[in-house]
Structure 1
């Protein structure tokens, strides 16, 4: 095999490794947010005044990350990566918060 071919193989393997690590991070972060949820619910019960919101709340980065992590765990890593790049980003955190509802809608179509 030529040195160029070997170098290209290494680059492809590194990209696959980076995608796998990103998926792992998504999964770990989604597990952390699941364990934090009961504390948030308890705090909400303690606050007896209803919150008044004038704007509909946008999904958070954690919400989007959890959805994409679940899709990735279902074997859709390539589709998730394509979805992120379709929004003109290299990684999830590069996508503007205003685009999260649209991103979640498209992610819902995947799974």
Structure 2
């Protein structure tokens, strides 16, 4: 069950507490204020202008969104898995030193550009 109560003044809150708090079995006074709402008008605006699409052929060789990275690219999950494996093998201190050599104390603080170097060094541990 969900009950939602809206109060519009401190007096409304106190009246609610007195009535439903169990201390006063008297009915709620007729002085409870009913909220009034202002009527909002919707302004009609002019329709947006119609744009025409160009029917030109796309470029034959569009430029790639990102330049190709040198070497293998690693994701955070791959690096995390490798470091977790090393930690489980008893190399937790070496993993911490590895991260510290990149100026971070947690893997999530590591720059994604450093993932290949971390994986290379982790492979040598």
State TM-score, norm by structure 2: 0.44
Kindly name which structure, 1 or 2, has the bigger radius of gyration based on alpha carbons: 2
State TM-score, norm by structure 1: 0.49
Normalized per residue, the structure richer in helix is 1
Q: Which has the higher contact order (CA 8 A, sep 6+)?
A: 1
